[in-house]
Amino acid sequence: MRRLEDRVIVVTGGGRGIGRATALRMASEGARVVIADFDHEGAQSAAAEVQAKGGKAHAAKVDVSERASVKKLVETVVGEHGQLDAWINNAGIIADSSLAKLTDENMERVIRVNLMGTFICAQEAAAVMKPRKKGVILNAASVVALYGNFGQTNYVASKCGVIGMTKVWARELGKDGIRVNAVAPGFIETDMTKSIPPKVTEMLVAKVPLQRMGRADEIAAVYAFLASDDASYVTGTVISVDGGVVT
C-alpha cells in the first residue's frame, strides 16, 4: 500500500512550483489532494495533471490571508471528504527591496500572506484535526530565514516567524496527536528562479556544496515523508533541503 493511501491533504499555493510538485507527489503516494491557490487556473491545471497521471485531486481557490476564504475551504474539504489528514502551508509571495527602499505596503503584504496566512491556515486546520486526535501541519520556511539574504527583509522576517510558529505549535498540538514541521528549501529551480540572470545563478550555485540547484520534486519528497507515518515521531523540526548551504 502507498504511504498516503486515501488521506486527504490540502496544498496551498499548489498551482505551480514546489506546491505543484508536492501535490503530484502526494497524489502518487495515494492521497486525495486539494490543490488550493489564489490562481484558480493554475490550481485547475495542476489538478488536471494529477488526474491525467491517475491520481485524485481537485482545485480550489483560496486567499490564505483572508480567514473567511480559508474557513470556507476547510469546511468544503471536510464536507466533501469527511476528514482532513494533512495541511501544507506552501503559499507565499515575495516583494524584494533593500531596507532603504522597502515600503510599508510591501512589508505588510508579504507578512500578511506568508506569516499571517500560515497562522490562519494552521489555526483553521488544527481545529478540525483535534477531534480526530491526529493530523499533520507542514510549513514552508526557507534557508534564508537561517542566514538572511540581501534585499529580503520582509520575506526573511516572514519565514523566521514561520519557523518560530512551527516550534510553538508542535509543543501545543502534540497532545492532540498533531505533528507540525517545517521544510526550508534552498535555491530551487522554479519559474521564479528562471528570471534570475545567469551570472547571478552561477554565483549562487557556487555556494552550494552539491554544486547545483535543487528540484521542486526533491522538496516534495521531504513533504511526503513528513506527511506519512514514516515520520510519526518527528515534530517541531525544520528540515533544510538546500544541497548543504546551511551546515
Catalytic residues: 155
Cell of 227: 506527511
Calpha distance 166→199 (Å, rounded): 35
Calpha distance 135→174 (Å, rounded): 10
**How do beta strands 32-37 and 135-140 pair?**
unpaired
Question: Which residues make beta-bridge pairs with 189?
Answer: 215
Residue in this structure with the C-alpha cell 552550494, named with its chain if needed: 208
Cell of 159: 519565514
177: left (phi over 0), alpha (psi -120 to 50) or beta: left
- 140 by DSSP, 3-state: which? strand
Distance of CA 98 to the CA centre of its chain: 25
- End-to-end CA gap in the chain: 35
Residue in this structure with the C-alpha cell 503516494, named with its chain if needed: 29
Answer for the pair 160, 148: CB distance below 8 angstroms, yes or no: no
